[in-house]
Structure 1
């Protein structure tokens, strides 16, 4: 018998069992638990906002619990009766970055978040956990949720028009990327669709996305704004836009983000999605990306290709920044006495768990930043915004600079692992 056919026969029962387990505990729609993360540089508090039922579930029906241990936060969903872990997901957030700024030492702020998971059949317990300075997770909030509770909102999402850019299979078997229009007026929707097609093409021009194109679905969601463009507070420019994106996040002129996550979640709910990308109608350089949360980029800068792909590396695969000589607003972002969770950064504390096995035996550790090691997978000091104490895999990578032509082998491996996780 054909070996490929034998493998399919062997794999089919595992897929069936996984889907049966999903059906036992969940429905193919989403529960969205909205909350605020609030506090300052030392404290964090969760403030519940609302719970919504949404019509789509795009995630895997088999891989329901996180295996990567990435993110500065995570949430876990347990069956209330048995205590069994049913679903978990790590994520990062703008709040955690803000906590490391000077402002967080003197004031409190809140940031809007959501924990989104398959809609449960029965009562569950939700736990939200924050990664501590020592690297471990600590529960900061727990609640019980009864899916029969009539206070769970079941309103239909706004039926925005959308254009399918890539369609390669069922949402639960693919990576589902939705691109939302920000700062495009109703009259500019044709431009948005063209821009969304172009930037998604940038993604599939680079490995490992190029080799995995058939594992992606991409949808452009037509979300018109009143004004064209985006806020640039440092230049006294303010626009009335759908998602209130703004430059000068943390007073950095190139840092483009949005805190209006409620509007984003409400809009994205009209289609199945795994990851949200906000495409901002601007020629200015800038963007931002947060693991399992959000990516943001402008549409028409000469470096849009590089930024779009870089920010997706953050948002989709949890990759860390490998640059170390650019100005940032963060203070004490990494604890150098523990291993960072990002797969492409190391402090050498637990390097065995990173990319040590990918090194040539002749490569010195640490690896000097010398031309003879250009293109070599090594351990180069500098990364994570620090010139000392943190190391990155190569001298240049898509996660370090716009001059790099591709992701390094370590980042490529990490991206591939996340793609595979979504598609099983």
Structure 2
């Protein structure tokens, strides 16, 4: 791993050049809602709808046809034409498979930003069922949405770390802080620079220096640090992050997604990365939701890249031996939607094109097989029945800058979807 050296002069220049983000004037419909239920039920409860500014999507990327994620939100015109589609995953989908999710009933915060079009008449909320089909959940009438008000959301100062072009033409990555007090803002700026380096020095992001914008929102917390509920340590932070999510000590997340969206409203964002002011190992990532990582651990470069694999590109975990809180996460009778996992039900739709002619499927973990792309058993938290593309990968082991070829291909497609 390359050592990132931050010069004092560079820090002074960065921190003295604080600007307020340029906002687009296109109205963006924000829908805040709760996902309610448990292992057996999954329902939608609308909290509020309002307009806000700041959006990065252009007209060509309004309808997401990638078909990733556990959930989907669509906006339709009166004639049934789909004008907007967004797939995503969230904490609820993992929680419901835990022991607590089988006996409790809870609600989790979720939200969606929709670049508004006056033709939009209604929203459709859907979830992916156990057979990989989209199941209708809720229809919401928005034909009178034009009458909604702009909500006053605190506008935090932002820093432009690297701007490659206009927001609607590039992949916009936005860093937001948790557990950085006012006196920690210079530290946060430095951490953002380091994190940007971790991303852009790693393959395949280093292939796209002119495709990615980086910004940071300077939003302080009242106290430094984060929560350790299992140690009875609690901090007053702007995003309420915590370790020990679902009883897993290293699982660092936030359940306060509406607060995340409020802070992120200060700048354009295709993907949000939350840096937590802490040195212990921890993080989490959810597709089209957020990436979160502790900023000061020796493995932070890996954590950011691994969790960003989940959050930005929809990659699945390729490991199968670690303790996780959830059980029976995948149905072996259908293909996982994650592009780097397969049950062999429809392997041709996965990384089949990356295999060298003659590669056995499944591929034994022996000899020279680990030097190339294969189909190796073990992945998705299961030692049997789920297969991964490589013996080792950043999505499997704690190794920075080691995406397998299937993961690299997915990241490339994702960046190009936003920026080409």
- The answer, yes or no, to whether TM exceeds 0.5 is yes
1:406 aligned residue: 402
**Gapped regions of structure 2 (runs ≥ 5):** 1-23
- 3-state secondary structure, aligned to 1:28: coil
Q: In the TM superposition, what is the alpha-carbon distance from 1:371 to its structure 2 partner?
A: 3.8
Alpha-carbon distance between aligned partners in 2 of 1:379 and 1:27, rounded to the nearest angstrom: 48
Partner of 2:10: none
Residue 134 of structure 1: which of 122, 131, 134 is its match?
Answer: 131
Confirm whether residue 334 of structure 1 aligns to residue 330 of structure 2. Answer: yes
- Kindly state the Cα deviation for residue 149 of structure 1 after the two structures are TM-superposed: 5.0
Select which of 62, 75, 80 maps to 1:83.
80
Partner of 1:103: 100
Offset of residue 125 of structure 1? 1.0
Aligned to 2:289: 293
CA gap 1:371/1:227 in 2 versus in 1, 3 angstroms = farther
1:119 to 116, 130, 134: 116
Say whether the 8 Å CA contact 1:249–1:257 is kept in structure 2: yes
Note if 1:222 corresponds to 2:229: no
TM superposition shift of 1:101? 0.5
Between the aligned partners of 1:167 and 1:375, the Cα distance in structure 2 is 37
1:156 & 1:375 partners in 2: Cα distance?
55
The residue that corresponds to 2:43 in the other structure is: 45
Aligned to 2:231: 235
Q: Deviations over 1:311-369 (max 9, x none)?
A: 01100000000000000011110000000000000000000101112111221111111
Once residues 87 and 61 of structure 2 are traced to their aligned partners in structure 1, the CA distance between those partners, rounded to angstroms, is: 13
Q: Does 1:59 align with 2:57?
A: yes
SS at match of 2:208: helix
C-alpha distance in 2 between matches for 1:40 and 1:166:
42
Shift of residue 191, structure 1, vs aligned partner: 0.3
Residue 137 of structure 2 is aligned to residue 146 of structure 1: no
Report deviation, 1:157.
2.4
Counterpart of 2:3 in structure 1 is none
Aligned to 2:34: 36
| Conserved? CA contact 1:27–1:121, under 8 Å | no
2:307 maps to what in 1?
311
Paired residues in the alignment total 397
Q: Cα RMSD between the aligned structures?
A: 1.3
Change (3 A) 1:123 1:380: closer
5 Å-filtered alignment, 1:248-397, equals 248-397=244-393
Contact 1:27 1:119 in 2 (8 A): no
Q: Secondary structure at the match of 2:250?
A: coil
SS of aligned partner of 1:120? coil
Q: Partner of 1:19 in structure 2?
A: none
Contact 1:60 1:423 in 2 (8 A): no
The 1-side partners of 2:121 and 2:309 are apart by: 32
Q: Counterpart of 1:62 in 2: which secondary structure?
A: helix
CA contact (8 A) 1:73 1:91 kept: yes
Tell me if structure 1 keeps the 8 A contact 2:225–2:235: yes
Q: CA deviation at 1:147?
A: 4.8
Decide whether aligned partners of structure 1 residues 404 and 220 sit closer, same or farther in structure 2, where only a CA change above 3 A counts: closer
Contact 2:69 2:87 in 1 (8 A): yes
Indicate conservation of the 8 Å contact 2:318/2:395, yes or no: yes
Check conservation: 1:230, 1:281, Cα contact below 8 A: yes
Q: Secondary structure at the match of 2:253?
A: coil
Deviates more, 1:371-380 or 1:338-347: 371-380
Shift of 1:148: 4.5
Give the TM-score taking structure 1 as reference length: 0.91
**Structure 1 CA distance, aligned partners of 2:139 and 2:280?**
42
TM-score normalised per structure 2: 0.92
Structure 1 runs not aligned, ≥5 long: 1-25
CA contact (8 A) 2:305 2:400 kept: no
